Homo-oligomer: A and B are copies of this chain.
Amino acid sequence: MAVGLNEPGELCAVAGVKLASVEAGIRYQGRSDLVLMELCEGATTAAVFTQSKCCAAPVTIAKAHLSQTEARALLINAGNANAVTGELGLANAMKSCAALAKHLGFATEAVLPFSTGVIGEQLNMPALLGGIEQGVSSLSEDNWLPAAEAIMTTDTVAKAISKKIEINGRVVTITGMAKGSGMICPDMATMLAYVATDAQIDQDNLRKLLVRGTDKSFNRITVDSDTSTNDALVLIATGQSGVEVGAGDKAFRDALNEVLIHLATAIIRDAEGATKFVKISANKGANQADCRAVAYSIAHSPLVKTALFASDPNWGRILMALGKAPAQQLELSKVDIRIGDVSLIEQGEPAPSYTEEHGKAVFEQEEITIEITLNQGDDDFHVWTSDLSHDYVSINADYRS
């Protein structure tokens, strides 16, 4: 049950990006689990990947290919992460790139592979190669929604969004999709996410837009503090609109960040077992690192998360998580805390106006904000997270994911 998240609205084609989704039978039966994406000549591509030291074979190969030549195709499978699969895993990822490249007439290095699913199992290569062959004939610019559905694993809702903006009197389109629901605490990247625009953006500007946008979106979400071996976020600019955009273009940057934040928060709204969507801000800190430490300490606390699930304003746990945060400049006697529109703590002590009823009214809502004001400086940071419910335990204990 996603929190305040509906099926995607209308998704707009991005000229220069064709997609296909296939029921390849890699792991799942009766649903699509493979996506092909073909990019036009001249498209620029930038990506950020998981920082995991146990990163998956496709991550290693996608990074290498991206540094070697222009990307012309993406190959994405759900159901099997191809992680901790050794030499054979690398060989299989290469083999699947080569197969798609051959069908489309590109060099193998022009194909970027991505996988998501169970860790530690070898890919079902006959199914994957069969799926590639099947998919190349159905590539179309209108397939964003079926593609967003095909990359889902424990997701309950497909995650995708389109945005059109006018720049210098011409229309530019941005469309993106993402998957992810658990094992979410991206570190410079996230679960699988793909965003394309028909703006014309050179490699340097594209990279800047991606890195800055990631910092405001996917690097501010956590479900369970666990970082995937397969995280990747890819940004593609096809240039087909003829509109040139730089990293400093505010209108485009705002629209892109809106798409990235929508996709990142959609993952939290659809977090495994989530019943709450929570924004935790740490404001007026001495520096970014302190604000980040405070926000994540609260967002990762199992005791805070179970209190959120219970709709119980057990605010002592927020203070507990604040107290253990590895922040350099933090003095309880300076701290103010608000939950929703209610003042909870003023200068380190319970606010005189606070009542249990006020707290209960806030914690019973599906969307909750917790705002810590450190009063140490001018920096701030926020993170979006979910609660810890029985369903989170069930999803991750009762089934192999």
Contacts and interface: CB of A to CB of B under 8 A. Distances in A.
Interface of A: 50-55, 81, 83-87, 118-120, 182-183, 185, 187, 224-229, 300-303, 306-307, 309-310, 312, 314-317, 319-325, 327, 330-332, 345, 348-350, 388-390, 392-394, 396-398, 400-401
A301 B393 contact: no
B324 A397 contact: no
A400 B322 contact: no
A387 to B, nearest CB: 9
A349 B86 contact: yes
B320 A52 contact: yes
Contact of A393 (B300, B345, B389): B389
Instruction: Kindly report how many copies of this chain are found in the complex they form together.
Output: 2
Given A118-B316, A120-B315, A396 B303 contact: yes
B119 A319 contact: yes
- Top 6 A-B pairs, shortest CB-CB distance: A119-B316, A54-B323, A52-B323, A86-B349, A306-B396, A310-B397
Given A83-B316, A84-B332, A86-B348, A53 B396 contact: no
A228 to B, nearest CB: 7
Give the interface centre of A52, A302, A322 by most chain B CB atoms within 10 Å: A302
Contacts of A388: 302, 393
Contact of A84 (B85, B86, B183, B348): B348
Contacts of A83: 316, 319-320
B332 A119 contact: no
A366 to B, nearest CB: 16
Contacts of A348: 84, 86
